[in-house]
Amino acid sequence: PAHPTGFWATLSPEAARTFAGVDRRYIDAVFAVTDRHPGGTMGYLKDELGLDAAKIAKLRALYLTKG
Q: 22-38: b or e for each residue (b if 16 or more CB lie within 10 Å)?
A: eeeeeeeeeeeebeeee
Please state the domain count of the chain. 1
Say what the pLDDT of residue 13 is.
Answer: 85
Check pLDDT > 60 for residue 42: yes
Tell me, yes or no, whether 6 lies in a domain: no
Q: Give the pLDDT confidence of 2-26 residue by residue, as tens digits.
A: 455 577 778 888 887 787 888 889 9
* φ, ψ dihedrals at 30, nearest 5°: -60, -45
Tell me, yes or no, whether 7 lies in a domain: no
Tell me, yes or no, whether 2 lies in a domain: no
* φ, ψ dihedrals at 55, nearest 5°: -70, -40
The H or E element that residue 44 is part of is helix 40-47
Tell me, yes or no, whether 40 lies in a domain: yes
Q: Give me the mean pLDDT over the 30-59 stretch.
A: 96
Tell me, yes or no, whether 35 lies in a domain: yes
Tell me, yes or no, whether 26 lies in a domain: yes
Tell me, yes or no, whether 27 lies in a domain: yes
Tell me, yes or no, whether 48 lies in a domain: yes
What residues make up the domain containing 28? 12-63
